[in-house]
Structure 1
Amino acid sequence: MTRDGAETLALQALGWLAGQEALFTRFLGDSGATAQDIAVAAGDAAFLGAVLDFLLMEDAWIIDFCDAAGIGYGMPMQARAALPGGQAMHWT
């Protein structure tokens, strides 16, 4: 996946996340961002990686997002790998 494609998918994920009120509130709390910060941060590839990191914490969230977006379940992980920090080794 290209970086542009990864950023596009992460933006889709952010839009989906914003539509999930309870989950979006949790994301804001976990990230320390405010709703106002999101508009600016959405242009930052590292922030978009953090959006995918958040969604990747729960299989159910990924399934719901992918089903809504009509994409394969592996796509968010592929997108994450193409964004800054996605190349790091994960031992869990």
Structure 2
Amino acid sequence: MRQRETNQDAATLALQALGWVIGDATRASRFLALTGIDPADLRARAGEPSFLVQVVAHLESHEPDLLACADALNVPPAALVQARAELETA
């Protein structure tokens, strides 16, 4: 049971990170361009653990964004990294 709750927490945090990414036109465009995902796919896949892993991995690949996102979400950057790791095993 605890593992499920942890994965739900990880998914929630990753969804919040996705909201942060797409909440800014420049960041959203960069994310879409680098991942090759179109807006329709983004909407369709937003709740999938594998997609949420991509979101956080994208942030990890550009440390300034990882730090800014963590700050905006009021969590340590390591929490985002941990969320990705948990979602990878979901």
- Band of TM-score, shorter chain: 0.7 to 0.9
**2:66 counterpart of 1:62:** yes
Against the structure 1 CA distance between its residues 73 and 21, is the aligned structure 2 distance closer, same or farther, given a 3 Å change threshold? same
Which structure: greater helix fraction?
Answer: 2
Q: Secondary structure at the match of 1:74?
A: helix
The root-mean-square deviation of aligned C-alpha atoms, in Å, is: 1.7
Q: Percent identity?
A: 35
Runs of 4+ in 1 over 6 A off after TM superposition: none
Deviations 1:9-56 (A, max 9, x none): 110000000012112111111111111211111121100000000000
- Per the alignment, residue 3 of structure 1 pairs with 7
Aligned length in residues: 86
Against the structure 1 CA distance between its residues 85 and 54, is the aligned structure 2 distance closer, same or farther, given a 3 Å change threshold? farther
Alpha carbons 1:46, 1:85 under 8 Å: kept:
no
**2:42 counterpart of 1:34:** no
Q: TM-score, normalised by structure 1?
A: 0.85
Q: TM-score, normalised by structure 2?
A: 0.87
Q: 1:53 aligns with which of 52, 57, 76?
A: 57
